[in-house]
Amino acid sequence: MTTRQPAVPAPTETPAPTETPAPTEALIEAPAPAATEVLGQPIPTAPARGQLLMVAPRRGKPPRHLADLTLAERMAAAAELGEKPFRGRQLSVHYFERLADLDPASAHQLTDLPAGSRQPLLDALLPRLIQPIRELVCDGGATVKTVWRLFDGALVESVLMKYPDRATVCVSSQAGCGMNCPFCATGQSGLTRNLSTAEIVEQVRSAARLMAHGVSTPVTGPGTGGGLGVPLGVPLGESTDSDDRRPGSSGGGRVSNVVFMGMGEALANYKAAVGAIRRLTDPAPEGLGLSARGITMSTVGLVPAIDKLAAEGIPVTLALSLHAPDDELRDELVPVNTRWKVAEALDAARRYFDATGRRVSIEYALIRDINDQEWRADLLGKLLTARGRGWVHVNPIPLNPTPGSKWTASDPRVQNTFVERLRARGVPTTVRDTRGQEIDGACGQLAAAT
Ligand code: SAH
């Protein structure tokens, strides 16, 4: 996960046996590998070079959670428990509006609910889905990265980045990733499973609580050894870390932006990702009430899913991870290119702009002597302007090398030239912020190292 400068906007799929397959589900490249478990931790099979895994292995599903449901469904769930339906609404206020501490042991705080109803409602609708096991802080406290353990032991990460004018959360949509991009840490570890809608929403709510109240759940659990910005078991607000100017530690702040740029290819987990987008943008207390404009969906370029997202009527920003303007190189860097070529991905991006009016971002990790040549900048500019003006901007980012990677970031002068060539063609281009690098900010690096 690399942190992003212009904070902003983007989806995934938790297939259930009874669900109608979404278009992306039809794109099976390889059968799901047999699950291997060590100490209850699912270990995905490392993918072969270029191998794609479009459909996540089916594993046990996380328990149902309030954030998976619409407000009407929550009220129906309360009724099924023998409670008054409006209890579902009350819980929603606690969860989305008050951003309350809803630990399974916090029933006593739900003072507006009858004492006898609190625990059953908490147990049924607010099971603990994500548990922080590592937290790292850098950039003078403005960046906090968290590794979460899910109910089945799978690990994912999220990052909160605080800027003077906004706060952005970078979330994971899958445990691992099936897209196998060779420069990305997550891509190297394979795909464990899809996250549920609520597992995605929980990452954002946790950041929102940190911004609003200056608190986060204490880090607990095994496997949380040295090198942490925060000692084990120390709540964020009480860190003994010398660098503890935490985002939101004073409270009163808000999360303004959510980017699906953590672990996973959200558009390959489409249903859960779009569910999360809905929950994040639904007005409180049905959801968190964020603006769709503040949400960015980043994708390798799953063309049918891009078109489907365009038709959802939620104008999130689309980011297309291009990384090369020519098919020969992109086949290597972004293996899904063997399925949908550069031209098809760019055409889909342009259609997305036409449907939503949201300017598309082109992501381009600059890799020394691999994709940073002037002719590639020129070709990229040509391909983009051939599809019109004002619909797209380019975000080059210096590669954040993964451990053991043979690749490194481009020379800064080469980077500047690349940017200038694009601008000379009239393509707005902004180099991305590279926050969080010293805490393994690159996609999946932290969870991979845990
Ligand atoms: N599956 C989504 C989200 C992945 S992470 C996608 O591919 O868009 C978000 C961005 O970080 C993507 O553009 C991805 O290509 C980029 N990225 C991954 N590893 C990186 C690295 N080591 N250095 C720089 N950018 C990286």
Q: Is pLDDT above 60 for 224?
A: no
Contacts of 116 (CB under 8 A, 6+ apart): none
Distance CA 16, CA 291 (A): 29
306 lines ligand 1 (CB under 6 A): no
CATH 3.60.21.10 fits 130-439, yes or no: no
pLDDT category, 3, cuts 50, 70, 90? very low
Closest CA to 377 of 396, 359, 390: 396
Q: Tens digit of pLDDT for each residue in 13-71?
A: 333 333 333 333 333 333 334 344 434 445 566 788 888 888 888 778 999 999 999 99
Distance CA 276, CA 287 (A): 9
Distance CA 372, CA 375 (A): 8
Distance CA 40, CA 46 (A): 18
CA of 58 to the centre of ligand 1 (A): 25
300 lines ligand 1 (CB under 6 A): yes
CA of 181 to the centre of ligand 1 (A): 8
**Average predicted confidence (pLDDT) for the chain:** 84
Give the sign of the dihedral formed by CA 163, CA 8, CA 173, CA 360.
negative
| Angle, helix 270-281 to helix 303-310, in steps of 10 degrees | 30
Instruction: State which amino acid sits at residue 218.
Output: P
CA of 421 to the centre of ligand 1 (A): 23
Burial 4-24 (b: 16+ CB within 10 A, else e): bbbbbbbbbbbbeeeeeebeb
Q: Is pLDDT above 90 for 246?
A: no
Q: Tens digit of pLDDT for each residue in 125-146?
A: 999 999 999 999 988 889 999 9
Q: Is pLDDT above 50 for 273?
A: yes
Q: Tens digit of pLDDT for each residue in 292-329?
A: 999 999 999 999 999 999 999 999 999 999 999 999 99
Q: Tens digit of pLDDT for each residue in 378-436?
A: 999 999 999 999 999 999 999 999 888 899 999 999 999 999 999 999 999 999 877 76
Please tell me the pTM assigned to this model: 0.85
Distance CA 260, CA 273 (A): 9
Q: Rounded mean pLDDT of 147-163?
A: 96
Closest ligand 1 atom to Cα of 397: 24
188 lines ligand 1 (CB under 6 A): no
Question: Domain segments of the chain: what residues?
Answer: 66-125, 130-439
CATH number for 66-125: choose from 1.20.1630, 1.10.150, 3.40.50, 3.90.320.
1.10.150
Q: How far is CA 267 from CA 16, 96, 264, 300, 391, in A?
A: 16, 25, 9, 9, 21
How far from each other are the two terminal CA atoms of the chain, in whole angstroms? 15
Distance CA 44, CA 35 (A): 7
Q: What is the pLDDT of residue 160?
A: 95
Q: What is the pLDDT of residue 48?
A: 85
